Amino acid sequence: MTKNLNAKKLSLIALCAIILLVIPILLGDYHVHVINQIGIFIILVTSLNLILGYTGQLSFAHIGLFAIGAYTSSILMMTYNVPFLLSLLLSMVASAFFGLLVGLIALRFTTHFFAIVTLAFGEIIRLIIYNMPDLTGGPNGIYNIPFPPNVFGLDFSQRSHFYYIILIGAVATVLFVKYMIGTRTGKAMIAVRENETFAQFIGINTWKVKMISFTLSAALAGFAGSIYAHYNSYISPYSFTMMESVTLLLMVIIGGVGTIFGPILGAAFLITLPELLRDVNEWRLVIFGALLVLTIMFMPKGLLGLFKSIQEKVKSSKKPVSNIDSGLGEEERKSVGS
Amino acid sequence: MLNIQDLCVNYEKNQVIKGISMEVKEGEIVTLIGANGAGKTTLLRTISGIKSSSSGSIEFMGNPIHKMPSHKIVDLGIGHIPEGRRVFPEMTVKENLEMGAYRRKDSKEMKKELDHIFELFPRLKERISQRAGTLSGGEQQMLAIGRAIMLRPKVYLFDEPSLGIAPLVIAEIAQMIKRLNEEEGATILLVEQNANLALKLSHRAYILETGKISLEGPSEELANDDRVQKIYLGYE
Amino acid sequence: MSEQIIQALINGLVSGSIYALMAVGFTLVFGIMHVINLAHGELYMLGGFSTFFMVSIYQINFFVALIATLIIIGVFGFFIEKIIFKPLRNASLLNTLLASIGLSLFISNLVLKLAGSDMRNIEFPFSGQSISILGTSVSVHRIVVLLLTAFLVCLLGWVIKYTKVGKALRATAQDTDAAALMGVNINLIYGIIFAISAGLAAVAGGLIGSLYVVDPSMGMMPGMKAFIIVILGGMGSVVGALLGALIFGYAETFTTLFLESSYQELVGFIILILVLLFKPSGLFGGVNTK
Amino acid sequence: MLEVKNVCRNFKGLQALSDVSFTVEEGTIFGVIGPNGAGKSTLFNCITNYFPPSSGNVYFEGKEITGIKPHKITELGITRTFQHTQVFPQLTVYDNVVTGQYVIKQKDPGRTKTQFDEDVERILKLVGLDSYRETIASNLSMGDQTRLAIGIALATEAKLLLLDEPAAGMNPEETKQLMNLLRNVREQGVTIVLIEHDMKAVMGICERIVVLEYGQKIAEGTPEEIRQNPQVIKAYLGSGDIA
């Protein structure tokens, strides 16, 4: 049985891998572009999911840490001619460093105080970027950020080539987060989310665990930021507003908070939606606002949770005898933070 | 007057009340005693509509009230003196009493009621404009009772009136409960941990043990029944 | 004292009083219902638009329009509570916070789509007139705004202190269960609290719209600032919210006076972080809280 | 093993605990009982420093532990459970126990993965949940959740377990099973302090019992001594004086 399952799983993975690898060959530039955007946001929301979904801390600072990654990488490469891979690494370090600083202050607080302090930091970062035109171009932003030339012998000035960088980045990030939550520290993060007080009393240094989660999450946000900047070749403070921060949260929540696949689904859904419905594009934020309210009200476990409960319903209608009650109510309420 | 049938109440997965049936007749003092965590407070909260039941029924003077919102239940004439007094700490004594008559429309009658309560509890009159949070435990209990009287309910639900109160004041409050019943004909459901006190005050008693009624009967009989003590002290 | 400083003192008072209208409602909703309503700023923006349309399009008298706005947006607030926050009564604080952010995003962008991003000014009856105080000329406009907000805050105080609804409101804040046992219809009270909070924010929006401009993004920062002020004053404390609003108004005005105005937005966030670091219960925490 | 010495705790002028002292011997099951609001949970909170005592000291194995951070207290070998929320609801039974092992990394950095895994298996067997390992904790019954909570506590390799009303919400059969489990746990050399409302359970399992009323210790002794104690009887049944 398990062997069968593994074989099935393996072939599924192989199939996905092949599809992912040939996408740029099959699809046109425009579609590859959309997929690239999705890929970048998968990195970003997967990292947000580490702190929000797995550690249960509602952070609005993520967009700011993403911005730090984007600006660090652009400035290093354009002003100081640092090679791409190094500036990618340094932008992760920079974001992690700022994440550590923000965490040091914000993680002293819990629940809504943590949320508002991170929101403040997100805005502070944006306002500082806005007010330092010499370094960041101020409200005008930075133009003509170069594509990374010649990494491992590949030229990334083509979107189809850049696709592979993003693909590797996204897969690496998802696998890293999946690995992370399997470790003892990762389990401790989930323990903090589930019941912070109890976690303390079984010997988990909850502050330390939250710091680790926040810093790692920041580093990955920096990673996404760097790729974002080089891929889109233009950044400005307007790409990193609170509205965008809310969109990120929506991606995680609508997909399914605290699951590996949920944020991927959420990012894909929310980026494709306005692209599919061209007329609707300008109503994007109106729709996102409504979606956020509706998700919280009617499916706090996100699309993934919805699929699962439908699946369970179908299953249980086949097998009427089920003596384990689902306990959904309890879980639903704890879906974010608590 | 008050009739409970097969009532079950849950807190999340925890069934706190596991099928209780009991009755309070007009003019009676009925007491519900039992150790900690037996479900006494939950039962009263369910009667008042603060907590919802999962099955069973509660009837009050022929009206099913187990699905009613609490303010409608108050209108029918159920006055609840909650555990721990629960006076409004930042409001004055007078304002607290006025809150008691919140559902009453007749302001003249209310004035009379106020005088009546100050007659019953002269100490409250002395403290009329003091914040309720500054009163002693006993005074707060008097205020809580006075607040309920303001409504002129048909049934009083007393929840642990002796809890956390000095012994001398307990006696005074016990007298007050007796007077309400004897002089004003009030029907009373009294929940108490202090079994000896409750059995002396009441006509009939139910003993609650982990969500179920394990003994019931006239209070005088139960007062001399050593099964009561055994339930409290955990004999097999 | 230089004229500039006197001018700043008055300006600080005016913006402080506007913030007070915002913060009092915010703190009532938090203190009694434990809801952090980040869409509060959008109600303020809607108030601005409502007043603008009545005054500039339908030529209704400014003050009548303000009263109508108070009522319309108040009723709107009542229904928002019933439709969105009532079903979330048992949800965690963070879930309601997220829902309120979604609501904020929805309302502000909807208005942006429908009304466009133009900045509009509400005509004010006494605009241009000014009187002299301590040798400094002060516009009548600002004085009227000050008097109006002071009146509304006093009116609210009176309602809370002496009316039956006000008593029910206080009782609910102090002990919800006990209030229910007195026969207070808690659901109705919650709706009323939201209505009051929305109405006051809407009036603030109308007043600001007459002083400056009305536009769809005007609610974002004031909504946030109301939250910061409430933290500054101590969550749930009405007196704290009033004092916090004044302090905040002055902090902003003097930053603009001495530093570049682009730093004004930063002030709030820095105050927030400092207060939370050094006095997390707020400057006046526990004054009038539950 | 555990010594509580003159512990007091005030809340806004209210004395929740006043001058409570007692000693728990190693290898015993020790009960803490008393009417509602007697200060039992406050006592646990003071021992594990959820909030520190206003005055007085707590010693564990001769070392003072007053005012040490909760996670450090667990590292020393004391683990407590809580009245209502006792497990990590969305994790599987297996992962719940693994979470309990987090502290072992601090205590014994050299332990291998196989040892960790074996420990989980042993604990799951002991608490009788080995057939539920993949079940999400929130889907367990109340009784099983409590057993899981004890399993988590055991995974921290505590020498002293503080259990706050483990039998709350259980039916008599589940309570009986739980008491058997506690006896088995004690056989493993773990000392247990138990707050419990179910008097039958407490009387049946504890070697010694402390009775609290209004934050004060009114009696200490064997279950039989406690049952005979007039002060205890009065605390539970009341005096019944109507002046």
Tens of pLDDT along B138-196?
Answer: 899 999 999 999 989 999 999 999 887 887 888 889 999 999 999 989 999 999 888 88
* Lookup: tokens for B198: 């409750």
Establish if D236 touches chain B: CB-CB under 8 angstroms.
yes
Per DSSP, the three-state class of B229 is helix
CATH (domain of A60):
1.10.3470
Pairing of strands D2-11, D14-24: antiparallel
Report domain B2-184+205-212's class. Answer: alpha beta
**Residue with structure tokens 């707020």?**
C282
Residue A272 lies in a domain: yes
Q: How confident is the model at residue B226 (pLDDT cuts 50, 70, 90)?
A: confident
Confidence of residue A154 (pLDDT cuts 50, 70, 90): low
3-state secondary structure at position B79: strand
Helix H segments across chain A?
A: 2-26, 29-49, 62-80, 84-106, 111-130, 133-136, 159-182, 184-194, 196-201, 206-232, 242-255, 261-276, 284-298, 302-318, 328-333
CA–CA dist A141, A239 (Å, integer):
10
Mean pLDDT of C29-43: 94
Domain boundaries, chain B: 2-184+205-212
Q: Which chain B residues are within 8 Å of A327, Cβ to Cβ?
A: 13
Question: Vertex C143, ends C142 and C147: CA angle to 5°?
Answer: 120
Instruction: Yes or no: say if B46 and B218 are a contact pair by the CB < 8 Å rule.
Output: no
Give the residue from A144, A161, A142 showing the smallest Cα distance to A153.
A161
Residue in chain D lying closest to A204 (CA): D71
Over C163-220, what HEC string results? CHHHHHHHHHHHCHHHHHHCCCCHHHHHHHHHHHHHHHHHHHHHHHHHHCCECCCCCH
> A334 and D98: CB-CB below 8 Å?
no
Beta-carbon contacts of B162 under 8 Å, excluding residues fewer than 6 positions away, are: B170, B173, B174, B192, B193, B194, B197, D238
CB contact under 8 A, C168 and B102: yes
Determine the average pLDDT of the residues in C3-18.
89
**What integer pLDDT is reported at residue A323 of this predicted model?**
36
The ipTM estimated for the assembled molecules is 0.88
Residue-level pLDDT at A325: 35
Distance CA A174, CA A224 (A): 12
Q: In this predicted model, what pLDDT tens digit does every residue of C50-87 receive, in sequence order?
A: 999 999 889 999 999 999 999 999 999 999 999 999 99
Interface residue B13 vs chain A (CB under 8 A)? yes
3-state helix, strand, coil in chain B (%, to 5): 40, 25, 30
Contact: chain C with chain A (3+ CB pairs below 8 Å)? yes
pLDDT, position A150: 67
Taking the C-alpha atoms of residue A79 and residue C57, their distance in angstroms, rounded to an integer, is 53
Q: Which amino acid is at C213?
A: V
Question: Which chain D residue lies closest to A187 (C-alpha atoms)?
Answer: D99
Chains that touch A (3 or more CB pairs under 8 A): B, C, D
For residue D220, what is the enclosing H or E element? strand D216-221
**CA C185/CA C173 separation, integer angstroms:** 13
Q: What contacts A298, CB < 8 A, 6 or more positions away?
A: none
Average pLDDT over residues C115-128: 85
Chain A residues inside the 8 Å CB shell of D108: none
Answer yes or no: do C175 and B88 touch at CB < 8 A: yes
Q: Subunits with at least 3 CB pairs below 8 A relative to chain B?
A: A, C, D
Is A328 within 8 Å of chain C by CB? no
For tokens 């909650």, what's the residue? B82
Q: Is C165 exposed, middle or buried (0-12, 13-18, 19+ CB in 10 A)?
A: middle
Nearest to D81 by CA among D32, D22, D41: D41
DSSP state of A52: I
* A290 contacts on C by Cβ (under 8 Å): 102, 106
pTM of the model: 0.89
Q: How many domains, chain A?
A: 1
With 90 as the cut, is the pLDDT of residue A306 above it? no
Please state, for a pLDDT cut of 90, what percent of chain C lies above it: 67
CA D43 to mean position of chain CA atoms: 11
Cα(A2)–Cα(D29) distance, rounded to whole angstroms?
44
pLDDT of residue C134: 73
pLDDT value of position C135: 76
Candidates A66, A75, A70; CA nearest to A121 is A66
How many CB atoms are closer than 10 A to CB C175?
22
pLDDT at residue C282 in the model: 81
pLDDT at B106 over 50: yes
Residue B14 near chain A (CB below 8 Å): no
Q: Which residues in B lie closer than 8 A to residue C183 (C-beta atoms)?
A: 70-71, 74-75, 102-103, 151
Residue in chain D closest to A259 (alpha carbons) equals: D90
Cross-chain CB nearest to A198 (options D85, D102, D136): D85
Q: What is the pLDDT of residue A153?
A: 66
pLDDT at B98: 93
Chain segment D74-84, per-residue pLDDT in tens: 999 999 988 87
Q: State the residue range of the domain holding A87.
A: 30-307
3 state SS of D4: strand
Indicate the helix (H) or strand (E) that contains B188.
strand B187-192
Give phi and psi for C123, each to the nearest 5: -70, 135
Query: Half-sphere exposure of residue B204, counting CA atoms within 13 Å on the CB side?
Result: 15
The CA-atom distances, in angstroms, between C120 and each of C52, C70, C111, C210 are 8, 20, 13, 9
Provide the edge-to-edge strand list for the sheet that holds D55-60: D14-24, D2-11, D55-60, D63-64
Residues of D in contact with B232 (CB under 8 A): 199, 236-237
Mean pLDDT of chain D: 89
What percentage of chain D has pLDDT greater than the value 70?
98
Task: Give residue C286's pLDDT band: very low, low, confident or very high (50, 70, 90).
Answer: very low
Grade residue D85 by pLDDT with cuts at 50, 70 and 90.
low
**Residues, chain D:** 243
Give CA–CA dist B219/B221, Å, rounded. Answer: 5
Per-residue CA distances from B93 to A247, B139, B144, B156 (Å):
51, 10, 10, 20
Distance from CA of B202 to the nearest CA of C (A): 24
Give the torsion sign (CA, C89, C90, C93, C98): negative
Token digits for B12? 């999340």
Chain A positions with Cβ closer than 8 Å to D: 184, 187-188, 190-191, 194-195, 197-206, 258, 324-327, 330-331, 334
Give the pLDDT mean for D10-37. Answer: 88
Residue A213 lies in a domain: yes
Query: pLDDT grade, residue C263 (50/70/90)?
Result: confident
pLDDT of residue A305: 86
Confirm if C11 and C253 have CB atoms less than 8 A apart.
Answer: yes
Does the pLDDT at position B233 exceed 70? yes
The pLDDT value recorded for residue C287 is 40
Query: Three-state DSSP class for B159?
Result: strand
Q: Taking CA atoms, what residue in C is nearest to A244?
A: C105
Q: Shortest CA distance to B47 belongs to which of B143, B146, B140, B153?
A: B153
Question: Is the pair C, D in contact (3+ CB pairs within 8 Å)?
Answer: no
Considering the domain boundaries, does residue A243 fall inside one? yes
Number of helices and strands in chain D (H, E): 10, 10
Mapping DSSP onto H, E and C, the string for C68-89 reads HHHHHHHHHHHHHHHHHHCCCC
